[in-house]
Amino acid sequence: MLSPDARVYVAGHRGMVGSAVWRALESAGFTDLIGWSSAEVDLTDRDSAMDAVLSARPDVVVVAAAKVGGIMANATYPVEFLTDNLRIQTNLFEAAHAADVDRLLFLGSSCIYPRMAPQPIPESALLTGPLESTNDAYAIAKIAGIIGVQSYRREYGRRWISAMPTNLYGPGDTFDLETAHVLPALIRRFHEASLAGAPSVTLWGTGSPRREFLHVDDLAAACLRLLDVYDEDEHINVGVGDDVTIAELAALVADVVGYSGEVEWDAAKPDGTPRKLLDVSRISALGWEPQIGLAEGIGSTYETYRTA
């Protein structure tokens, strides 16, 4: 059981995931929390990361820092998505080991799985087939993180673990259309179309791919549960166990925003992986279940965007 007296370093504490983990820790009574902005500590720089972690000597490290983005960003900047994430992970792992951190949680992504993985996707599907080409560089970096955690466990006996969340959304998300994931991008597109009185909105792809969406506060609760009870080599999936088509998601977002125009689809643009639904049986067996429904979560996320 993780003690509320533990000193916890949340890497990436100002991002969507890191800030949610920070909130969850505070709500659980943790008071000794550490976080640095990228201006204070450049995690892509080994010496900067090493000096910061060694000076703080945390008991627990949550690796929520990463370069993230949607299909367009991943397809346009694969070098940055590969190298920046590899550097961040490697530097944090080395620094945590040097500081004798016995408990570390590495957060990856469901894009680690093959494009045509069985559905729902079990953890055992890792490295069983080709990746989705639009985000393979990012996926390879996250796979390297999983192997890194396993390697530190095997060579040094570290009680480090990895969790792979499904598609995330919620407060702190980015709504920049150049880098946003699908759900926040839809919120912005429909909001702006509603304000402009646009008769239609054109969206990428066919609308047929299926995705599941997990509110980031539910992920944060899962992180605390895993730090309490999970200690295995294999990474563990974190999702809701249910999915929707992108077209269904668009209709839901349009309804929440109040947009009543037409939705058109640009089939010349990529769809990405046809389906990506995680098998969440292992984390469910640990006593965790998501609490925030998709419609409720979209509503609260839209409110944070609208009032920002």
Domain boundaries, the chain: 8-172+213-241+277-292
- List C-alpha distances in Å: 131 to 90, 146, 249, 275, 298: 22, 16, 24, 13, 29
DSSP 262-290: EEEEETTS---SSEE-B--HHHHTTT---
pLDDT per residue as tens digits for the range 246-266: 999 999 999 999 999 999 999
Widest distance between CA atoms in the chain: 60
pLDDT of 274 reads: 87
Q: Is the confidence at residue 168, as pLDDT, over 90?
A: yes
pLDDT per residue as tens digits for the range 222-231: 999 999 999 9
Q: Which token pair is 262?
A: 């037409």
Superfamily (CATH H level) for 8-172+213-241+277-292: NAD(P)-binding Rossmann-like Domain (3.40.50.720)
Q: Is the confidence at residue 70, as pLDDT, over 80?
A: no
Please identify every residue annotated as catalytic.
138
- For 55, other C-beta atoms within 10 Å of its C-beta total 9
List the one residue out of 21, 56, 20 whose CA is nearest residue 36: 56
pLDDT of 176 reads: 87
Residues 80-114: b if buried by 16+ CB within 10 A, e if exposed: ebbebbbbbbbbbbbbbbebebebbbbbbbbbbbb
Helix H or strand E encompassing 159: strand 159-165
CA gap 303, 308 in Å, rounded: 8
pLDDT of 270 reads: 85
pLDDT per residue as tens digits for the range 272-292: 788 999 999 999 999 999 999
Can you give the pTM of this predicted structure? Answer: 0.95
Report the percentage of the chain scoring pLDDT > 90: 89
The strand pairing partners of 201, in sequence order, are 263
Which pLDDT band, with edges at 50, 70 and 90, does 179 fall under?
A: confident
pLDDT per residue as tens digits for the range 24-53: 999 999 999 999 999 999 999 999 999 999
Helix H or strand E encompassing 74: helix 71-76
- List C-alpha distances in Å: 185 to 70, 114, 279: 9, 25, 26
Ramachandran category for residue 57: left, alpha or beta (phi over 0 → left; psi -120 to 50 → alpha): left
